[in-house]
Homo-oligomer: A and B are copies of this chain.
């Protein structure tokens, strides 16, 4: 229920990204409210968000309302790349800080435009430690692992994830993105634009929701998901979609909303790298 006001605010934002016409925006909100009234039919917020944004696409004919925003975020993240590499390179515990860098990428959408000085803001966020960090388990798993699946989140964050991948040399890395444009989440095009094709196999989840809802995902993704030795799930949307899943997953995210923070048992805005096994969460 906590998600409903947020979901509604998000669809209003999307409608404004897609069209300047107040009449179209109102039509979108009308349909969005009908979907919201039936929220119990949905498995999770990513599921309902997907249907909401289908309305935006259908009523405006704009398939990717956040295209410009995503391009801007990828560009900004690329410009920050040398700083990220220098940051991790200068650290003791490089894997910890490479993971932390990938988690920090999650702020790029909100951080930049709330801060006059993006570099200061970024450095400040990078320096924050994880509140929960199952690095020991991750390092143990890495010893026997060959393949790693990373389930991506936002465009721009994708560039930060590249830094993490560079600290996982020798592993067969697959990077999964959304099957179609949904808010500012990364698609195939965004992954290519972020340069991820140089260091990972890029696939889509087969699911257009802003979270890998397994019973909506494609066969290729599910095969990789089930067989990968390690799965890293990025961001809140994937956490919501996968927090009850049966296979072990490492959740890597910033808890940006009160509900997710509560479920993770951390304060709002905490960074988390949490190992999940079916019996643990």
Does A138 count as interface, using CB distance less than 8 angstroms?
A: no
Q: Copy number of this protein in the oligomer?
A: 2
A33 to B4, Cβ gap below 8 A?
yes
The interface residues of chain A, by DSSP majority, are classed as helix
B29 to A33, Cβ gap below 8 A?
no
* CB-defined contacts of A37 to chain B, threshold 8 Å: 30, 33-34, 36-37
Contact residue among B4, B25, B30 (Cβ-Cβ distance under 8 Å from A8): B4
A26 to B12, Cβ gap below 8 A?
no
Known: A33-B33, A33-B39. A26 touches B8 (CB 8 A): no
Cβ distance A114 to chain B, nearest Cβ, rounded Å: 13
Does A170 count as interface, using CB distance less than 8 angstroms?
A: no
Known: A33-B33, A36-B33, A36-B36. A6 touches B5 (CB 8 A): yes
Q: Report the interface size for chain A: residues with CB under 8 A from the other chain.
A: 17
Does A20 count as interface, using CB distance less than 8 angstroms?
A: no
A2 to B12, Cβ gap below 8 A?
yes
Cβ distance A13 to chain B, nearest Cβ, rounded Å: 10
Does A9 count as interface, using CB distance less than 8 angstroms?
A: yes
**Taking CB as reference atom, which chain B residue is nearest A15?**
B1
* CB-defined contacts of A34 to chain B, threshold 8 Å: 37
**Taking CB as reference atom, which chain B residue is nearest A28?**
B1
B12 to A5, Cβ gap below 8 A?
yes
Of A6, A8, A29, A36, the most chain B CB neighbours within 10 A belong to A8
**Taking CB as reference atom, which chain B residue is nearest A29?**
B1
* CB-defined contacts of A30 to chain B, threshold 8 Å: 37
Q: List 20 A-B contacts (CB under 8 A).
A: A1-B12, A1-B25, A1-B26, A1-B29, A2-B12, A4-B8, A4-B12, A4-B29, A4-B33, A5-B5, A5-B8, A5-B9, A5-B12, A8-B8, A30-B37, A33-B37, A33-B39, A34-B37, A36-B36, A36-B37
Give the 3 A-B CB pairs with smallest separation, nearest first: A5-B9, A33-B37, A5-B5
